[in-house]
Copies of this chain bind each other. A is one copy, B any other.
Amino acid sequence: PDAGAAAAARQRLAALATPPGALGRIGETAVWWAGVRGTATPPPPQEVHLHVVAGDHGVTTRGVSAFPAAVTPLMVQAFLDGGAAATVLARHLGVRVRTHDLSVDVDWPAGTDPDLVAHKVRRGSGSIDTEDALSPAETDAALAAGAAIADASVDAGADLLVVGDMGIGNTTPSAALVAALLGLGAPTVTGRGTGVDDAGLARKTEVVALALARARERHGADPLRLLGALGGADLAAMAGICLQAARRRTPVLLDGVVVTAAALAAERLAPGTAAWFAAGHRSSEPAHTPALAALGLHPLVDLGLRLGEGSGALVALPLLSAAAVLLAETALLADVLPPA
């Protein structure tokens, strides 16, 4: 980010016709936006692209989710049809949506939009309790897919990327990845996802513990190998989007625990990447809070959302716009007070 633009924004913020600090974290968000846009008073986001990255996970066969894996392609279809919650919000907010099948466990019928499967790496990622989610080559392919997705958006004029997830079972690899990158234990990071019962939570915690033990033994603290071993093709592609967005000096508004787990891996692969991130919301999944803290991010909203899809980021998007207009258009105190 542009430190000079951020400093100029902070100076203007302090000079507004408001008491010092009265805009709270809206003011801090405005300063961040100025830095990532490289100018003291940038307009609010004009061209926002939501990338929904879809994938299946072998661990769904272990009873870690309240829904069967067969729901993933049905929800992908709901994205294409515009009926998924995040697509409803995107339409309301004027956000462009692209849905990417990285690893959904399905062969789409002939006639399916080729863009949907342009970046497909495999059908389902490996069951992380017994095998790596991806091979090193597949991890590289998913990261490259994410980079291509980000490049296409930036080349098309996007000034903000939003990343969303779709995939039954995907909070299990996310929890494992956060735990592995931060040195946490399985019970600390494992939550109920879409709503498993106590027995499901116990199974899920055990799967995360097994996956963590496997991955730590095989891959130590190598963030690239941990991303491939624990994350799956969808999470690796999200990390690729985050990495390439930062290289292209384009900010990313993060969603919930899945996207944030991938963003944490991106930060570990290229320290400093997180300066391009803002956090939309705090999910009720327990791995989300330590991941946000490790990235130094404070979410804009905290409403108990746990839907994924990018929905939490899109709920928060108008707050970023509000921050931008407040910084740019509020009168200065010197202009409100009479001449001395």
The residues of A with any CB-CB pair to B shorter than 8 Å are 16-26, 44, 66-67, 71, 74-75, 77-78, 81, 83-85, 88-89, 91-92, 193-195, 284, 300-307, 311, 314-315, 318-319, 321-322, 325-326, 329-331, 335-338
* The 9 residue pairs across chains A and B that have the minimum distance between CB atoms: A24-B304, A83-B331, A318-B318, A19-B194, A22-B307, A25-B303, A88-B329, A24-B305, A92-B325
Q: Are A85 and B336 in contact (CB under 8 A)?
A: no
The CA-CA distance from A88 to B326 in the complex, in Å, is 6
Given B315, B325, B336, which contacts A77 in the complex, CB threshold below 8 Å? B336
The CA-CA distance from A321 to B22 in the complex, in Å, is 25
The CA-CA distance from A133 to B181 in the complex, in Å, is 59
Can you list 28 A-B contacts (CB < 8 A)? A17-B75, A17-B83, A17-B85, A18-B85, A19-B193, A19-B194, A20-B195, A21-B306, A22-B194, A22-B195, A23-B85, A23-B305, A24-B284, A24-B303, A25-B304, A26-B305, A74-B336, A77-B336, A78-B336, A83-B336, A84-B330, A88-B329, A89-B322, A89-B325, A92-B321, A301-B319, A315-B322, A318-B319
Closest chain B residue, CB of each to CB of A44: B92
Residue of A22, A306, A338 with most partner-chain B CB within 10 A: A22
**A314 / chain B contacts, CB cutoff of 8 Å:** 322
**A19 / chain B contacts, CB cutoff of 8 Å:** 66-67, 193-195, 306-307
What's the nearest-Cβ distance from chain B to residue A83, in Å?
3
**A67 / chain B contacts, CB cutoff of 8 Å:** 19
**A89 / chain B contacts, CB cutoff of 8 Å:** 322, 325-326
**A16 / chain B contacts, CB cutoff of 8 Å:** 85
**A318 / chain B contacts, CB cutoff of 8 Å:** 318-319, 322
Q: Are A85 and B319 in contact (CB under 8 A)?
A: no
The CA-CA distance from A20 to B91 in the complex, in Å, is 23
What's the nearest-Cβ distance from chain B to residue A29, in Å?
8
Q: Are B74 and A337 in contact (CB under 8 A)?
A: yes
The CA-CA distance from A315 to B305 in the complex, in Å, is 19
**A337 / chain B contacts, CB cutoff of 8 Å:** 71, 74
The CA-CA distance from A331 to B83 in the complex, in Å, is 5
What's the nearest-Cβ distance from chain B to residue A152, in Å?
27
Q: Are A17 and B305 in contact (CB under 8 A)?
A: no
The CA-CA distance from A141 to B35 in the complex, in Å, is 50
The CA-CA distance from A311 to B130 in the complex, in Å, is 53
Given B25, B193, B315, which contacts A26 in the complex, CB threshold below 8 Å? B315
What's the nearest-Cβ distance from chain B to residue A253, in Å?
14
Given B25, B284, B315, B338, which contacts A319 in the complex, CB threshold below 8 Å? B315
Q: Are A17 and B84 in contact (CB under 8 A)?
A: yes
What's the nearest-Cβ distance from chain B to residue A309, in Å?
9
Closest chain B residue, CB of each to CB of A65: B19
